[in-house]
Structure 1
Amino acid sequence: MTVGDVVFSLQKAKDAPSMMSFYSDIDKIEAIDDETVRITTKKPFGPLVNYLAHKGAGIMSEKAVKAAGDNYGQHPIGTGPFMFDSWVSADRIVLKANPDYYKGKPAIDTLVFRVIPEGVNRTIALETKEADIAYDIDPIDHDMVKHHSNLTLLQKSALTMNYLGFNTEKAPFNKKEVRQAIAYAIDMDSMIAAVYLGAASKANSPVSPEVFGYNKDTKGYDYNVAKAKELLAQAGYPNGFKAKIWTNDNGIRRDTAVILQDQLKQIGIDATIEILEWGSYLDRLIRKEHDMFLLGWTPSPDADSALYAVFHSKNHGSAGNRTYYTNARVDELLDKGRETTVEADRIESYKEAQDIIMDEVPLIPLVYPDNNVGMQKTIKGFELDPENQHNLYPVSK
């Protein structure tokens, strides 16, 4: 790795539309000497150090990227403890230990990452010892894994916030009262019990408790059908309306959609569920074709990451603000929060922003799900990372 690779990689991240909210305030990235890179920001930028540790700022080989062109993703070169060996589309990626890694060769010679979309099949892979480690065990299998003589389940609060979003530029979801009514109509406790089997906590904010800037005093919405009906009537929809809930083919989201569909019937909203292929789902969100949609957001451990991309009006569409929410005061607060390095000032800005967002509810934070990993008891050295960026270098078996 050279300083040229660092400059190239950070510049590439800065120019990527999907990373705009993270790196757009960087002005210049310069190589000072063979071991030093200088980053100059346009103004004070509080979350910079956090964002430099984000996977979006991972360092790539400039030579390899330019040589491979659009096929670089199939021939990656890095500097970590494992080296790319082979890849079978939609099936597996194989890595080999890097004997020249600066901390020493890892204990594991070969890592095989298998793609197993169905949760039940991931659990079976653990039981049959086809897999040593399985990410995201379905809630229904938690107890079985916990009590299995050869397996163990690791659980930890995640940074993720799962939400129901609205197209705030489209009637009737352009009315705050309609969005609030839907928030009051959702029984989060029953959803957590039925969908997550208790492996989640009710969300009161778009910022999760594990993230810097979370405001525990921000008020969420308690289940109140009478209040929901009252708000719908105020908005001009006393008899409800028809709408669509979009989701992709994700088990948790599908189950959530079914529960939402049932609960919204209580206030006269006739919701149809549409399950979309992932690429089409994101593309149609950008084209603003949606009514309501289910997604999640996993930030870095900083409120700027949790809020700026999702709620700032600069980020409508693919950059993260898929509700097309616009609020000048929220924009101002989010700008203030990132344009100072004084933590107390940042916290105050994020507190007010969370309160405004939860009042206007362009999206409804539903739950903060737990992260989990099931693994063989013979595995040593694995630690569950709240961002799901698990370090496999110290792992042995």
Structure 2
Amino acid sequence: MPPLRSLATAVLFAALATGTAAAAAAPPKVLHMFLSTSETGLDPAVASDIATLSLLENLFDPLLRYDYLARPVKLQGNTATGLPEVSPDGLTYTFHLRPGIHFTPDPAFKGAKREVTAADYVYSIKRLYDPSLKSPWSFMFDGKLLGDAALKDKFSYATEIPGLQAPDRYTLRIRLSAPDNNFLFYLATPASGVVAREVIEAYPGQAGNHPVGTGPFMLGDWKRSDRIVLLANPDSTAVFHGTPSADPADRAIAKALEGQRLPRVDRVEVKIVEEFQGRMLGFLNGEYDYLEQVPESMTDMVIDNGKLKPDLAGRGMQLYRFPVLQTYYMWMNMQDPVLGGYGKDRIALRRAIALSYDSAEDIALLKKGFAMKAESPLPPGVLGYDPAYRSPVPHDPALANALLDRYGYDKRDPDGFRRQPRRGGKPGETEPLTLEMSSEATVGGRLRDELWRKCLNAVGLRVVFKSDKKTEIIKASRLGKVQMFESNWIADFPDGDNFYQLLYGPNAGRANYARFDLPAYNIRYEQARRLTDGPARQQLYGEMNQLIHAYNPWVPLTHVLSADIRQPWLKNYKRHPVEFTQWRYLDVDVAERERNSRAK
């Protein structure tokens, strides 16, 4: 397919042509980026892959965005003038839009400048209910907006509901059927970005090929699955406001950006680079401005003893360790005939498996030091995380062996592996015990298999591995047909609820792959989700952690510390825990890039 060129490209070029002579003489500031997978259609209501979401958050505007510098994360107004007015009962949110925000040019507007209104947000949110779109983001609003059953019974954009109203041009009022402490996070996602009805209707079924938003960038050239160019939106009204910490680097970014119009560069050139080696070599050759999450298999190319190699540091590159909002864990099926159940013998077996796990070896050898031990389901940076909490289940093979001996797994085969009590047999009768762990059919998957084999064999447990594609393992997991599997969860939004829901009983068969269903846990989860972040919720989270460690449906493993490297000419870089890109805030020292290029 030939490159797609939007009308926005011509508009921007015309604007540049009429600029001052000084501006025309200045070399353009260009960010050079890559995406690790191909993009799909650029429709906020439909796209769900990370590559496409990375583009969408630069093209479309939700009501709210995250403060770039604030940690823990917090929201601030984007197209809204600020955070909404919230009624005392927590059900009504009133947003006020900033006047003067316009969609980028498109023939659908027939030559007129098209201002964003509250009605546009009503339309955009309704699109998530449109059954023809099958939006993966409908869960954010489905059943939560007051009266939205009318949209599901017989969908029509003309249907008005009390939960979604625009009383005037710049006021949006949203009413919920029940309080939801995470609701504002949904309004900072790319899926809730505003679109224009005229554009959607001008390209039936093709909205993803004609992205027209209000973001800091607009689409320039687009060669599918190969190259995308984003151009600075000349009508962008975004202005930077941030809350820096005491960190001098944060304060320097705030000083450079505070009150400045966004974006800071003229263009972003994005390539699709699926191979690890291509990304790494491209970065080292100066083709990309930063590299996030150095692949484990290539860490030795750039890092030595936890530090950037001297030749790279000598070129001015900088290494950052970034705590990703991600938890790796190994779950066990609570309904499995071998591992499942809530009796003492099964609890002892799962506890022994948890005690066998050697986190130090995992972090040192497999994660190359770029991870930290997971004490609970929550990674640092998520609201509700308790830095003082420590798991009561350490790496202790001796204790694991003692537990298994005590609770009926004391008999062994001639080859030294433990046997289990025979089901329905006489007291003392045993039968062979073999654990089955599913694993990904990749090099990394095989390395993890060997770690688990070593850990489990050390306590006398035989394990076999069943390799398959991850998508197939997940399908089988939802049907309850997988005994054990090592998985990971990345935060959809930075709140503890997003992680603790993975063990909530009613979510069994969905995100709760362990099929853990403990009334004591479920009650505390339901209580916690009605509370905002604070001491009362923190106490409930602590009690939920203790229940997880008591029954061991999970073995919390690690939280990744991403190894990120940036080039010396890149300015204002700070990775955000939730947003996918920093492109709007970044700046480029063109002269420094040229000097570096000549020095290579």
Class of the TM-score when normalised by the shorter of the 2 chains: 0.7 to 0.9
Match of 1:332 in 2: 523
**Contact 1:132 1:376 survives alignment (8 Å):** yes
Q: Distance in 2 between matches of 1:22 and 1:247?
A: 34
Aligned pair in 2 of structure 1 residues 229, 384: CA closer, same or farther (>3 Å)? same
Question: Is the deviation greater in 197-206 or in 158-167?
Answer: 158-167
Q: Which has the larger radius of gyration?
A: 2
Q: CA deviation at 1:232?
A: 4.3
Q: What is the letter of the counterpart of residue 176 of structure 2?
A: T
In the alignment, is residue 164 of structure 1 matched against residue 330 of structure 2?
yes
Matched residue type, 2:448? T
Taking a change above 3 Å as real, the CA distance of residues 347 and 330 of structure 1, as seen in their structure-2 partners, is: same
Partner of 1:155 in structure 2? 321
| In structure 2, C-alpha distance between the alignment counterparts of 1:22 and 1:127, rounded to whole Å | 44
Distance 1:55 1:365, change over 3 A: farther
Are 2:396 and 1:224 equivalent residues in the alignment? yes
Query: d(CA) in 2 for partners of 1:2 and 1:71?
Result: 23
Deviation at 1:92, TM superposition (A): 4.4
Offset at 1:98? 1.8
Q: CA deviation at 1:203?
A: 0.6
Q: In the aligned structure 1, how far is the partner of 2:222 from the partner of 2:466?
A: 35
Match of 1:204 in 2: 375
3-state SS of the aligned residue for 1:368? strand
1:81 to 185, 191, 216: 216
How many residues end up aligned between the 2 structures? 393
Structure 1 residue corresponding to 2:474, chosen from 282, 296, 299: 282
Letter of the 1:156 partner, please give it. F
1:25: Cα distance to partner? 4.2
> Secondary structure of 1:302's match?
coil
CA contact (8 A) 1:257 1:273 kept: no
Q: Which deviations, in whole Å up to 9, do the C-alpha atoms of 1:189-231 show, x marking residues without a partner? A: 1110011111111011001132221233252421112332344
Q: Following the alignment from structure 1 to structure 2, what is the Cα–Cα distance between the partners of residues 22 and 352? A: 30
User: Which amino acid is 1:102 matched to?
Assistant: T
Flag the structure with more relative contact order, 1 or 2, with Cα contacts below 8 A and sequence separation at least 6: 1
Deviations 1:49-85 (A, max 9, x none): 3343344544444555566676544544432212234
Q: 1:2 aligns with which of 91, 102, 117?
A: 117
1:173 equivalent among 336, 339, 348: 339
Local SS of the residue matching 2:283: helix
| CA distance in 2 between partners of 1:181 and 1:67 (Å) | 61
SS at match of 2:353: helix
Does the alignment pair 1:45 with 2:180? yes
CA 228–63 in structure 1, closer or farther in 2 if over 3 Å, else same: farther
Residue aligning to 1:128: 285
- Bigger mean CA offset, 1-10 vs 321-330: 1-10
1:194 has 2:365 as partner: yes
- 1:112 corresponds to 2:269: yes
Q: In 2, Cα distance between the equivalents of 1:173 and 1:18?
A: 35
Partner SS state of residue 320, structure 2: strand
Q: Which amino acid aligns with 1:221?
A: V
Instruction: Tell me, in whole angstroms, the C-alpha distance in 1 between the residues paired with 2:273 and 2:538.
Output: 40
How far, CA to CA, are the matches of 2:214 and 2:352 in structure 1? 51
Evaluate the alpha carbon distance shift between residue 61 and residue 312 of structure 1 in structure 2; reply closer, same or farther with a 3 A threshold: farther
Given the two structures, how large is their TM-score scaled by the length of structure 2?
0.59
Q: By how many angstroms is 1:378 displaced?
A: 1.0
Aligned match of 1:294: 486
Query: Secondary structure of 2:571's partner?
Result: coil
How well do the aligned residues superpose, as a CA RMSD in angstroms? 3.1
- Segments of 5+ residues of structure 2 without an aligned counterpart are 1-115, 147-162, 239-260, 341-345, 410-417, 420-432, 589-600
TM-aligned CA distance change 1:59 to 1:283, over 3 Å? farther
Please give the alpha-carbon distance, in whole angstroms, between the structure 2 residues aligned to 1:99 and 1:69. Answer: 27
Distance 2:554 2:203 in 1: 40
Moved more, 40-49 or 120-129: 40-49
Question: Does 1:242 find its partner at 2:435?
Answer: yes
Between the aligned partners of 1:221 and 1:60, the Cα distance in structure 2 is 50
Identity of aligned residues (%): 24
- Cα separation, partners in 2 of 1:75 and 1:91, compared to 1, 3 Å: same
Cα separation, 1, equivalents of 2:573 and 2:118: 31
TM-score computed with the length of structure 1 as normaliser? 0.86
In structure 1, stretches of 5+ residues that fail to align are none
Counterpart CA distance in 1 for 2:577 and 2:451 is 27
For the Cα contact (< 8 Å) 1:29–1:40, is it kept in 2? yes
| Structure ranking higher in helix proportion | 1
1:83 partner letter: M
Deviates more, 1:156-165 or 1:98-107: 98-107
